Amino acid sequence: MWAAARAYLPAQWSRKMCELQAVEVDAYNWLSAVPAHLWARNMFNPRSKCDLLSNNISESFNQYISSARDKPILTMFESIRKMIMCRYQEKKEWIAKVKSSICPRIHNKLEENKLKSIDYEVLPAGNGIWEVTEFGHNYVVNLVARTCSCREWDMIGIPCVHACAALVNSDKEAADYVHLYYSVHYYKLAYKHMIMPIPFKEDWVETGEEPTEPPEIRRRLGRPRKVRRKGADEQRDATVVTRMGTMIHCHNCRQPGLNIKSCKQPRRSPATDQVM
């Protein structure tokens, strides 16, 4: 499934889907029921310059605010505000020290691509178009249109290994062909605003409006849950013991397959439980 999801080319995607169908029909049917533009790279809009297939961004933020999630709602918001306020300033100070025109991770990615492309065969076709051969597979690179037939450059905006091979042979700087989204200038624009500090609440100006009361809810038994519920397709922690596959017994009547909520028998007193 992942091979089909990661494919940049429609032909490659179709081929991987056929291979999946031949190996596991149920997985193929399940995946085909989901619109392809939601999970297949070759269907993504190239304007976004993003080919991420996971929700790691939301997972990272969820972990980032884990210390504030179990607090009361206003206290939680205040904790998150302070965290983001400091984070904005930290990012501003960090990016101010960067001397290159593109962000450091993108620079490292370019260097890796240039190193991988050393042994590629590169042939000029004219008008900024090059033919790059990678282990017998030909790719067409258009430096003017900033595209490659592998479609990786088109999708993410960072010159792929084939584009880097053409850029090196044409004596051009690869960093100049990186999309503006990855530039230091755009990074600074993303963090140019700031989240203002808030004075102590006793110093706030009275508005005269009726105060907002919390909703009437019934508090659940036990400690509030902090860990996010994992989806059915997510990998479980093998070291955590679960009740899956075990037969439950009612604490009241001791019958299997029941719990105390669904038990129809009269409730036992604590003294009866001690005797038993």
User: Going residue by residue through the chain (276 aa), what tens digit of pLDDT does each one get?
Assistant: 788 899 999 999 999 999 999 999 998 999 899 999 889 999 999 999 988 888 788 888 888 998 898 888 889 999 999 999 999 999 999 999 999 999 999 999 999 999 999 989 999 999 999 999 999 999 999 999 999 999 999 999 999 999 999 999 999 999 999 999 999 999 999 999 999 999 988 888 888 888 888 778 887 777 777 666 776 666 776 676 666 667 787 878 888 877 777 788 887 765 555 545
Predicted confidence at residue 56, as pLDDT, reads: 82
What whole-number distance in Å separates Cα of residue 115 and Cα of residue 186? 27
Within a domain: 155: yes
CA dist 270 → 100, 249, 252 (Å): 72, 17, 10
Which of residues 158, 183, 208 is at a domain's end?
Answer: 183
Within a domain: 227: no
Which of residues 139, 162, 183 is at a domain's end?
Answer: 183
Predicted confidence at residue 208, as pLDDT, reads: 87
Q: H-helix or E-strand containing 206?
A: none
Amino acid at 57: I
121: Cβ contacts below 8 Å, ≥ 6 apart: 132, 133
Which of residues 183, 207, 226 is at a domain's end?
Answer: 183
Within a domain: 154: yes
Predicted confidence at residue 245, as pLDDT, reads: 67
Within a domain: 51: no
Predicted confidence at residue 275, as pLDDT, reads: 47
What whole-number distance in Å separates Cα of residue 126 and Cα of residue 265? 87
Predicted confidence at residue 215, as pLDDT, reads: 79
Predicted confidence at residue 260, as pLDDT, reads: 75
Range of the domain at 12: 1-43
Strand partners of residue 124 = 130
Within a domain: 233: no
Within a domain: 13: yes
Within a domain: 28: yes
- Number of domains the chain is built from: 2
> What pTM value is reported for the model?
0.72
What whole-number distance in Å separates Cα of residue 177 and Cα of residue 171? 13
Within a domain: 18: yes
The residue whose two tokens read 């009740």 is 243
Predicted confidence at residue 211, as pLDDT, reads: 83
Q: H-helix or E-strand containing 173?
A: none
The two tokens of residue 140 are 């067409």
